[in-house]
Amino acid sequence: MFLVYGVAAVISNLIGGWLVDHRSTVAVAAMSIGGFGVAFAVLAALASGHGHVPLALLCVVVAAWSLVGWWFNPAQNARPLGLAGAQGPIALSLSGSAIYAGQAVGGAIGAVALGGGAAVLAASAAACAAAAVAVLLLTARPRARRMEPAAA
């Protein structure tokens, strides 16, 4: 699974960079987080079943999760750089801090959800992804919401 996830992550980073060059960073980030949500919903459905999950199917879902998940990094790095101008490095450090804070909150939510089993954990992750897309879209500048190539 780590190999599948890792190979898909490398491919995804390349795709994410290309997408950021050709679409708005908000659109790329929203597609990434939305894809996370879909992957987690599929994992929740697989985990809630009472039968055996074929390894090939699990590999496909994990690869899809990694593919859409790693689009987020180039988009998230481009957003504060584009907004902060000369203060870009400081904005990137704040972005990094926000990511770590999100991981801490996600870990706490995951710890609570884990008691309900794998299906509840994956469903909670899907719900968090939906909330993240909502926050992203609500906080995006109107110009950045359009599906236009990013400014150079």
Mean local confidence (pLDDT), 119-131: 87
User: Hey, where are the domains in the chain?
Assistant: 2-140
Please tell me the predicted confidence (pLDDT) of residue 141. Answer: 66
Residues, the chain, total? Answer: 152
Q: What percent of the chain has pLDDT over 70?
A: 92
Q: Which two tokens stand for residue 102?
A: 């999100």
- Cα separation, 109 vs 86, in Å, equals 36
User: Across the chain, where does the E strand assignment appear?
Assistant: none
Please tell me the predicted confidence (pLDDT) of residue 52. Answer: 83
pTM passes above 0.75: no
- Cα separation, 113 vs 89, in Å, equals 36
59 vs 98 pLDDT, higher one? 59
Mean local confidence (pLDDT), 25-52: 85
